Amino acid sequence: MITSDIGLKQFKDEYSFRLEEKTVNMYILAVEQLMAYCDKPYSEINSSDIRRWMSSLESKEYKAATVKSKLAGIKLFYKYCTEEGLLAKNPVKNIPFPEVEDKLPRYLQRDELFQLRQLVKGQLEEKAVIEMLYSTGVRLMELVDMKKVNINWQERMITVPKGKRKKERIVLFTRECAEHLRAYLDAREDTLPFVFVNSKGTGPVCPRTIQLKFESYTKKLGTHISPHTLRHTFAAHLARKGMPLACIQILLGHNGPHQTQLYARLYHEARKELYDQWM
């Protein structure tokens, strides 16, 4: 019998080249939690065990989206094990995902974006972060990992070398964004390669630092705002300006069917708002 440690190590080695480290670790944690609940190695776990584990998560009031995410990790792990011959049967193959209500991604209206910009007026770094997130539509971790060498100032383009699923893509930024980003970079005294650095100037900015800033914006403005809200806003505002959905998807770095469907709904909602303004 293959030991759990060997199976998990092989899985991690294989998928560390395909997925982000955070995602792989999350999937491995889900498998470890499943084994701990069942008190047996993964090779002895059956479908009934997995269903009981899922029920236990639901009884502990885990959100359906969280259970779905954990099950996705379990499914990928067992799929790998059967394909590699570590297991003869996949116990999770016929277990469906829990139903999750797909809420339309929230995005800022023009007046809300104006209020946010006014809130950080005079704050070089905060202003640059907000304009970058809104102008490019990048994810928080993509912003944190971004390096100055990735910026093409003349063309106003940025290469995102390791986006989600480690696929490289090009994003654009506006003249206004360039102005605020230049002001922030020119005011820095460090020689670090990162576009945004921590307060000590010793490394890249911490994602949590940016998240805390957005939590403060939420409290001050009285409406929920996160880095991902600006990503949604980027997509919605481009839709209202008439950019085709396919082009927006490329800029966002989307290729999964679920993401495509969700942003298609956002796209049509944003276009409908524009129509309603003219009627």
Backbone angles phi, psi at 101, to 5 degrees: -70, 120
Q: Domains in the chain, please, with CATH?
A: 4-83 (1.10.150), 110-278 (1.10.443.10)
Residues 156-209 have pLDDT tens digits of 999 998 655 557 889 999 999 999 999 999 999 999 999 999 999 999 999 999
* Residue 221 identity: L
C-alpha span between 28 and 11 (Å, rounded):
8
Give pLDDT < 50 ranges for the chain: 1-3, 279
Of the chain, the percentage scoring pLDDT greater than 90 comes to: 58
Predicted confidence at residue 255, as pLDDT, reads: 58
C-alpha span between 115 and 46 (Å, rounded):
54
Predicted confidence at residue 58, as pLDDT, reads: 86
Place of tokens 């800022």: 108
C-alpha span between 115 and 221 (Å, rounded):
8
